[in-house]
A and B are shown apart, each in its own frame.
Chain A
């Protein structure tokens, strides 16, 4: 029997994932040992774990592109930026969720544990450099997400959300796998650099079919039209902190996965996938803007808003240039801040243990809670893209990239739909400032305050110092080309 000599691969780039993996297992053991009483300490432990992983990610060297584990894992500036966003989104979720779950009496130690496991999956997706790693990361993230959508298991809506998400998610994973197997079959390799060298300008029909199926699976995870049907129901049915999570961290991971596949593995066949993403971007922006107009529930409104935002972000991908990806990264940073800020406010609409989730419940908020109303108004102005708030610059960079890449029509349609979208964002401002005041709500929980303060600072003061973020996004985009 011949012996197999193998050298341990370099694990340094993998350090954040290893820390999270080992830490989450310790948390599970602790939770199982202490029972339900441990929910609070496991929450704090998970938050500390995520922040430690964040600091390790930030301390990793920035220059160059390191691949390890037989080329399945890649670490570069893009991965670093997107992992930072994912970890920030997950930490914010734990801060937002803690008070909510305690007051709803559904506090369980498994929730922070699942958030951390989901985060590991997202980080694997961000660093994926071959199709198997991509799929495994996606499944780890999705499975944890299905469970936390249904975590309020005595609530019919939450259970329905979990089941719907699971069934449709399994379908989309199937499509992605089918596409991936076609790509593997027609290129003979699963690694992204291998696919790049196997495909030339005119990819065969089979590979093209594979690309289309992969795009369909990816669009489902992004919640982009025409694969968005699950989004409003899942967002409405899940407990609100879970909705905030779905709208933040997994979006970052899904966007980076899309960039990894289409920029990393298929850069020479842009002609095939560019038209797909142009269509998806236009359809998402249009549907997100028009369908949100008639909504009564804030959570459904945020669901349509996230669909529209993904549409704008995909403009950067459709451009397919370095500038486009840099615009996409800037968009995602600002989108994360706006979404988390908006959800921190939605979660504070509580009076005597009843949560309010309808848009009419915001009426007259400016008289009862002037600061809260001011922050939400800023978030809404920013989402509508009004200068000098951050949302304007987010849109500005992707539109500029699209025009540079010759996609003028796409940019014009983007501007038109953002005007339509401005209607429902500004309606919320009108309801808060000009309608009858209602009874005041309870004071905000400390976790919500932290998230709201940080995201408000980013949204309102971005225009003063745009340099660092734009520079980082530029370096992240550069590391891919």
Chain B
């Protein structure tokens, strides 16, 4: 009696019930997933709204930032700094003119740039179908027509718009170019500066309120650019565009790749079995599995991410695998009995356990992705695992039911046809397999020797693996975004933004002693100042004394010194008779309310006049105000000339090599203003000697059309500053190198003030999740390896068989990753994800091979005889599977998105390799260790063999540790001690278990079975 026969009997006896049940569930899930996302004003949908509103709509998430969970410190910091410095993700438009000798700086080209910028300003709110306030942030657009020019002229320093209106003459146009190149902030950012390409291109930077608006903005800009026409070329890039566009194309991909995969599989199956009616059934299984899985994903409220969009393409080929085995055997055996029921029963007897285990191992491989600390990968793993088990259930229930629907008349030629009609071809495959079988028997040792050589080369290749990713490279090289990326980075300082945050937080008072210390210093500074002023104004003595006293009271409650100073400043304002906290006027439309002091008649209530103060006392308080302001400004670290010089050193360090094309900083602003105030000459491009001069430069900088630009570079307390980096490459590898090199630089050249150094920006975030991915994937791989091993040991009731089944896939994965290292393909997100799921897929072939080999060995007695039989029907089924599943992933190669291509190509190669590996390595291994493998004393039950039991226990323990250490940091020593204890305990336990009654009894029974 086979396991699960009740399940199968059900299908055989009540095929209609089983079929309708499946269809019913699929329809319900599909509706529950789709309805909430349909337009709410559709007739039936409208009535269902009360229910639908509570359900999840389809959410799409294309943001690689979400590779990290939102509470990851690096993301929290990124968001915090973006808010603090009012920075936003930017779309970058580049306009290039290669035909005009003056590049872009001619009236016609600049007119287009002007028009495009003006158009970009309108891309917000209703114009782009978004709520008010969403879209392009107009005040922060960086473009020729939105920035200021500072210019020393004979009439004095001149502040003006760089290009308020498009120029009328060539001269004017050239002048704009010259001016732009003079301003360090603009050169290499807004106007191209690369040697030989100076002025050939200009850029427009559009900061967005949300980066998921990028694609919308992208399409509109694209259209406008087409209207503007040539000879200028328009390019649009920037990480947000890449990320958002990827999301849009991902859906197109889903709609193309999945059906294409289905078609390929369908055609192949038709070629193998020549029975359209029968071949449709696995297609139904695949489709229903996809519907159920994606439906469940949406209903559960998970977003469709780059990863989860690949779920259908993974489930489809895997879902048909088991069906192929069933049909394949049914195909071979039907003509023997011509009885559907009987044939299916025999087939399912043979296949039920291997199918269950192949599904379980595949599912385990995917489920292990839940071990990675990357949320979208976790979701992907769990749902593919679910989909595989759904597909298994459907295969063992629906396929038998479906076969029962086919009338025997229609099956008359089935199988028989193949024997005659495809005789030649069939013999070829059969011949080939038979030859392979005997070859593995005769040449077992050379096969294993070659394998060892492959493994050694692979090991070397793996050591050369290059961990790297770059969302822009997710597009094929010919994609407009890739092209734009290349062109713009050839012209400008770079379009990838990363930011370095330098912070010197104020030290908190840790105890009252420190408070006292502060007050003491403060009081002595106060009295010193009072001393110098009292000659001029005797009232100062009393006023400053009051100041010191207030400080003594205020410090008690203060957490930081600046709190005391702030309160003192308020006290001083009150003393000068000024109103306290300013209150904003309400922002309402309609006629304004009358201000205090006015009524309709013109008189109104008088605003109380503060009591007249002695002029001297008032002046003394004014001096006190200045004194406090000085104290406050002492804390403004990033106005200090020495600190600004250090920032310049950092910038020079970045410039000294690598992919940093350009940097912008507070120091550059200060230097530029100073240069143009003093002489306009390059020799005056430097930091002034005093801090107050720096302060004055910054006030002048703010006296512009863009007063708030300063706050992108410093916070208002000047304790945080940011250096902008423009990188010419978004490769994580390059960003990592920049981070490492800076650490080294700062160790060698310490800053004048200890400061916190942190990175933020999209380019940096990418390296953070990548680091997690590499280790996360390693954990997932270790986890799934152990799970699969345990499952194999349980299936075969032997650790030796378990290990044997792991060999082909281990060699395959080693070889593939070695090859990746050797050919220099980057280890990126898709490659990383593939490692653990390959495991679950590749072991399938081994399971089928070994399960059938073991069963046949019982029949034939020796491997020499068994080998021939195994290379008959079982090997043919495996070969068919290898071809179908490998080909099923090939349509991904047609995708214009690189991750899909990678997955498609790699999976096909991996499956081919592991299939071939299975058919070569396993028989060769079996040949060598035939004796211990087919030991007639073999006991059933994992716990019955002491060795198997101990190894299983150790594997289980290791599995638990791999899982646990993600959440609990355990020291290496602790782990080893626990490991030794666990192994010792399990050894004793296993000894007892294997000697128990059940085992001896069972093994006796087994021996009987064998001898029979």
Are chains A and B native binding partners rather than an unrelated pairing? no
Q: Which residues of B are in contact with A by a Cβ distance under 8 Å? A: none
Could you tell me which A residues sit within 8 Å of B by CB distance?
Answer: none
